[in-house]
Amino acid sequence: MIAVSSPHSLVNSRLLEILACPKDKGNLFYVADEEMLYNPRLQMRYEVRQGIPVMLIDEATIVNQVEHERIMAKVAQLNLKPTF
C-alpha cells in the first residue's frame, strides 16, 4: 500500500501501484498534502488535480535543489513509499 500524508486529493491506490514518470519511466513519490507526484531523479513534480495526476511532461515543474531537498526530507519524514 502506498502511504499518503493527508486526504486532500487522494489518488486511487491501485493507480499509484502502476504510475510511472512519463519522461524516465521511473517511480514517483505521492505527497498528498501538496497534491503532487515527485520524481527525485529528474527533480520534477507533477500536479494532482481533484485526485487526477496530470502526467504531462510540459506541465511538470522542475524544482531547484533547495526545494528538492525539502521534498525529499518530507518523503523521509513521512516514510512515503515510491510508486510500483
Q: What is the pLDDT of residues 16-66, one digit of tens each?
A: 999 999 999 999 999 999 999 999 999 999 999 999 999 999 999 999 999
Domains contained in the chain, CATH given: 13-77 (2.20.25.10)
Q: Which residue has the higher pLDDT, 26 or 11?
A: 26
Q: The whole model's pTM is what?
A: 0.86
Q: Which residue has the higher pLDDT, 44 or 13?
A: 44
pLDDT band (50, 70, 90) for residue 6: very low
Q: What pLDDT was estimated at residue 58? A: 98
Q: How far is CA 39 from CA 23, 29, in A?
A: 10, 7
Q: Which sign does the torsion angle of CA 14, 22, 8, 1 carry?
A: positive
